[in-house]
């Protein structure tokens, strides 16, 4: 695996940057100047608004290098930021990347990380236009800022939902969380018997959702094709419940979700059962799905109901205090955000 | 000092963000939507290009909390990014901030850090439009991305200098480095005799240059007033020598600097002597001055020569291999970049 190991110190900061950014090709017309000067130069399309979002990923908080391959980590770090631009109904165009590295990382390791970032850039047609690479006293830190745009009349905030609007989600929920459970289990097994091979077969779908998620740019494109501008939208990073409550709070509405409408994959459902976990709870609070959750007026019902990308899971209500989960047996429970909170988990 | 201590966990991530971003007022017309959604929404001025730059600051690499007050640190983290926008001859407009915090930081401590960031935003008329606040396993990490703009015909890259162009620098050099030397010395004294009061009197000028530097937006404004568009420009973060060599390399020129023309403050000169350091070397390689280094054609000589903001310290030459320092006694030495390199220092 680590046959070759070049210390970062042998290249120096400028040498490392030159090595990492070698052969970067520009994919966006709006990228006028990328890496190599004091700042990147962008030329946003006339009439479009610029969208900016940033995320900071810290080792042992957001990722565990015991089981997250560096290439996947690079990919994911980019994707979670692009997802925020998609959540505004925008198109991601560029990223800048800050990288903090302890000296336990070799040049080869950093290249792997960068390969993942480049792969995400290629997949989403995004340009890496700048960055800062530096040492850190401990562990790996990844700071990604994504820049995108959208015509002003297509930008979707979290606060535009109204009473009666349908609550819609793309894809399936809970899989990323179950992927994490599998990885944590195998890590424990490995700790107890270091020679043991991890048993990940048959779990590829869930593992991929955790280790290499995708941003739903295809949903943004599909909404444009359907000529739908959602009244509110958010991406699911902390969990369905938490995000639905954000939309409700920022829109001044209540929200009602039907348990039997929440989309889950068969594999995720079975695995949750195997782990003695409630599949609904995993879907509601697992997080890291990076699906898009949005609201549309009822007159768009026909466009959405049988569309393979979407599930209508509930609707907004007039009473701002309402936060209801209607269970499979018709009971009404309080919808609670038990999303993974990076800060509380450290308290 | 730390009379009150509120654990971050008691607020949670969303609570902390709400607390920190309370009462943020928008100063820029181009800020359409700031903190509180998936991404910020900006509307760049028609005909202007967008400039983006990012920096990652890690504890014990870029700052030492033993002597850097959190408020100053917040201020400096913003300023060094704004400096990159100024180095493109642009106007900084917005920032987004990623904050990684270990649980040794209280809510009060983070507020102090944010106060410093806000102060810098107010001083430079910049809006804080987004961020990510998360826990970190160890120490403090600050990732700042600055966004600015400039009319296309005023943007200045590093690569436009030509043979014969004058090399000009704003302000005085080496002071930030000497400020650091003083702080390091007092830290050592304190370590040996923990009761001792640090002796910082009389060194305020140098300490301020280290702990609370400024971005030379006033230079950008002055250049506009003089109707000068430099042929190349860079800000001095790694040191004069390193930055001059960047301009030369990216412009395909050589460079000649005259030692007796390098601007240094009397205080810096005296203090370097007191520390048995060569003042010229401090000015050439100390770094963190955040002054602007730029080139202009010779026909702008009269505009620059007696201007109180600027010093003409040398010129560009035709031979791309030339990197000359003409010493006070008229000898020619090789100009070397011995700038502080974050990565090598860790190797």
> Are residues B135 and A61, on separate chains, in Cβ contact within 8 Å?
yes
Pairwise CA distance, residues B140 & A77, whole Å: 20
* Interface A-B: count of C-beta contacts within 8 A: 252
Q: Assess B58–A contact: CB distance below 8 Å, yes or no.
A: yes
- The answer to which of A228-232, B125-129, B191-195, B259-263 has the lowest mean pLDDT is B191-195
Distance from CA of B73 to the nearest CA of A (A): 17
Question: Residue A95, SS3?
Answer: strand
Among A32, A50, A87, select the one facing B42 at the smallest CB separation.
Answer: A50
Share of chain B above pLDDT 70, in %: 97
CB–CB contact A137 B59 (8 Å): yes
Nearest-CA distance A2 → chain B (Å)? 19
Return the residue in A18, A47, A50 with the most chain B beta carbons within 10 A, the one to mutate for interface testing. Answer: A50
Give the model confidence (pLDDT) of B36-86 as tens digits.
899 999 998 888 999 999 999 998 888 888 888 899 999 999 999 999 999
Residues of chain A predicted below pLDDT 70: 1-3, 339-347
- Chain A positions touching B145 (Cβ under 8 A) are 52, 54, 96, 143, 145
| Burial grade of B123 (CB within 10 A; 0-12, 13-18, 19 or more) | middle
- Reported as a single tens digit per residue, the pLDDT across A43-68 is 988 889 999 999 999 988 888 888 88
Q: Which of A52, A60, A340 to mutate to test the interface with B (most CBs of B within 10 A)?
A: A52
Q: What is the ipTM of this complex?
A: 0.90
User: Shortest Cα distance from A10 to chain B (angstroms)?
Assistant: 8
Of A9, A43, A98, the CB nearest to B55: A98
Task: Tell me if B129 sits within 8 A of B42, measured CB to CB.
Answer: yes
Question: Is A232 part of the contact surface with chain B (CB cutoff 8 Å)?
Answer: no
pLDDT digits (tens, 9 = 90+) for A235-252: 999 999 999 999 999 999
Which of B54, B77, B235 best probes binding to A when mutated, by most A CB atoms within 10 angstroms? B54
pLDDT-derived band at B346 (thresholds 50, 70, 90) equals very low
pLDDT grade, residue B18 (50/70/90)? confident
Average pLDDT over residues B158-181: 97
| Averaged pLDDT for residues B255-262 | 98
Domain boundaries, chain A: 8-154, 166-341
Chain B contact for A249 (CB, 8 A cutoff) = no
Burial of B209 (0-12, 13-18, 19+ CB in 10 A): buried
Q: Does A9 touch chain B (CB under 8 A)?
A: yes
Does A128 touch chain B if contact means CB atoms closer than 8 Å?
A: no
Give the rounded percent of residues in chain B with a pLDDT score beyond 90. 71
Chain A stretch 91-120, residues whose beta carbon is closer than 8 A to a beta carbon of chain B? 94, 96-103
Asked if B52 lies within 8 A of A61 by C-beta distance, the reply is: no
Least CB-CB distance to A38: which of B46, B87, B138?
B87
Subunit contact B132:A56, Cβ cutoff 8 A: yes
Q: What is the pLDDT of residues B303-322, one digit of tens each?
A: 999 999 999 999 999 999 99
Q: What is the architecture of the domain spanning A166-341?
A: Alpha-Beta Complex (3.90)
The reply to whether residue A43 touches residue B50, judged by beta carbons under 8 angstroms, is yes
Nearest to B137 among A44, A59, A134 (CB): A59
Whether A160 and chain B come into contact, CB under 8 Å, resolves to no
Are residues A130 and B52, on separate chains, in Cβ contact within 8 Å? Answer: yes
CA dist., res. B274 & res. B263, Å (int): 19
B53/A39 Cβ within 8 A: yes
Residue B239 Rama label (left phi>0; alpha psi -120 to 50; beta) = left
Q: If DSSP codes are grouped into helix, strand and coil, which group holds residue B139? A: coil
Task: Please tell me which residue of chain B has the smallest CA distance to A90.
Answer: B39
8 Å CB contact of B342 and A96: no
Helix B204-211, helix B175-192: angle, nearest 10: 100
A50 vs A39: CA distance, rounded Å: 17
What is the predicted pLDDT for the residue at A346? 32
Distance from CA of B139 to the nearest CA of A (A): 9
Compute and round to an integer the Cα radius of gyration of chain B.
21
A90: which chain B residues are within 8 Å (Cβ-Cβ)? 39
Note the pLDDT tens digit of each residue in A127-143: 999 988 888 887 899 99
For every residue of B306-324, DSSP letters joined together read T-TTEEEEEEEES-TT-EE
Residue of B nearest to A104 (CA): B347
CB-based contact A249:A324 (threshold 8 Å): no
Looking at residue A261, the DSSP 8-state letter turns out to be G
CB contact under 8 A, B88 and A39: yes
Q: Find out if CATH 3.30.1330.10 is the number for domain A8-154.
A: yes
How many CA atoms within 13 Å lie on the side-chain side of A261? 20
Nearest to A16 by CA among A127, A78, A103: A103
Chain A interface test: which of B32, B52, B235 (most A C-beta within 10 Å) = B52
Q: Residues A120, A122, A124, A129: is their CA dihedral positive or negative?
A: positive
pLDDT tier at B341, thresholds 50, 70, 90: very low
A342·B134 Cβ contact <8 A? yes
**A141/B139 Cβ within 8 A:** no
- Summarised one tens digit per residue, pLDDT across range B219-255 is 999 999 999 999 999 999 999 999 999 999 999 999 9
Cross-chain residue pair A9–B347, CB shorter than 8 Å: yes
Place of tokens 């993974």: A340
CB nearest B39 (choices: A51, A137, A346) = A51
A233 contacts in B (CB within 8 Å)?
A: 38
Note which residues in 68-87 of chain A have CB less than 8 A from chain B.
84-85, 87
CB contact under 8 A, B141 and A58: yes
Tell me which residue of A324, A240, A245, A237 sits closest to A281, measured CA to CA. Answer: A240
**pLDDT in the model for residue A199:** 73
The tokens describing A4, both together, are 């070759």
| Secondary structure of residue B127 in the 3-state scheme | strand
Q: Which of residues 315-344 of A touch B (CB under 8 A)?
A: 341-344
Is the CB of residue B323 less than 8 Å from the CB of residue B255?
yes
The CATH label, of 3.40.50.720, 3.40.50.1110, 3.40.50.1820, 3.90.650.10, for the domain at B166-337 is 3.90.650.10
Q: Helix, strand, coil: what percent of chain B each, to 5? A: 35, 25, 40
With b for 16 or more beta-carbon neighbours within 10 A and e for fewer, the B93-121 pattern comes to: bbbbbbbbbbeebbbebbbbbbebbbbbb
User: What is residue A3's predicted lDDT score, i.e. its pLDDT?
Assistant: 62
Q: How far is B159 from chain A (nearest CA, A)?
A: 9
DSSP string, B107-140: HHHHHHHHHHHHHHHHHHT-EEEEEEEEE-SSS-
Is B13 at the interface with chain A, CB within 8 A? Answer: yes
Q: What is the pLDDT at residue A347?
A: 27
* Calpha distance B150→B121 (Å, rounded): 19
Chain B residue with Cα closest to A343: B135
Specify the CATH class of B12-18+46-154 in words: alpha beta
- Tens of pLDDT, residues B107-133: 898 999 999 999 999 999 999 999 888
Residues of A in contact with B234 (CB under 8 A): 38
Confidence of residue B3 (pLDDT cuts 50, 70, 90): low
d(CA B68, CA B210): 9
């Amino acid at each position: 695996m680590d046959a070759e190991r070049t210390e970062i110190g042998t290249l120096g900061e400028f040498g490392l940057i030159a090595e990492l950014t070698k052969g970067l090709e520009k994919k966006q017309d709006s990228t006028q100047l990328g890496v190599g000067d004091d700042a990147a130069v962008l030329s946003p399309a006339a009439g479009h608004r610029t969208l900016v979002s940033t995320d900071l990923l810290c080792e042992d908080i957001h990722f565990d290098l015991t089981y997250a391959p560096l290439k996947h980590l690079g990919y994911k770090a980019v994707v979670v930021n692009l997802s925020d631009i998609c959540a505004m109904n925008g198109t991601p165009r560029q990223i800048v990347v800050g990288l903090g590295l302890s000296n336990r990382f070799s040049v080869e390791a950093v290249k792997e990380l960068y390969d993942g970032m480049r792969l995400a850039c290629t997949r989403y047609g995004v340009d890496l236009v700048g960055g800062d690479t530096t040492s850190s006293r401990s562990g790996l830190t990844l700071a990604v800022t994504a820049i995108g745009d959208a015509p002003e009349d297509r930008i979707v905030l979290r606060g535009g939902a109204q009473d009666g609007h349908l609550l819609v989600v793309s894809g399936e929920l809970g899989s990323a969380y179950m992927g994490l459970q599998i990885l944590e289990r195998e890590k424990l097994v490995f700790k107890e018997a270091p020679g043991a091979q991890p048993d990940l077969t048959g779990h590829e779908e869930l593992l991929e959702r955790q280790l290499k998620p995708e941003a739903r740019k295809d949903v943004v494109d599909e909404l444009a094709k359907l000529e739908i501008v959602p009244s509110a939208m958010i991406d699911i990073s902390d969990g369905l419940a938490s995000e639905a409550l954000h939309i409700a709070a920022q829109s001044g509405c209540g929200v009602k979700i039907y348990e039997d409408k929440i989309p889950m994959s068969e594999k995720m459902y079975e695995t949750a059962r195997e782990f003695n976990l409630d599949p609904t709870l995993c879907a509601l609070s697992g997080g890291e799905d990076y699906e898009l959750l949005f609201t549309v007026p009822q007159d768009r019902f026909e466009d959405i109901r049988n569309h393979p990308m979407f599930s209508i899971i509930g609707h907004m209500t007039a009473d701002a205090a309402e936060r209801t989960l209607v269970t499979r047996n018709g009971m009404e429970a309080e919808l609670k955000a038990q999303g993974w909170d990076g800060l509380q988990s450290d308290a």
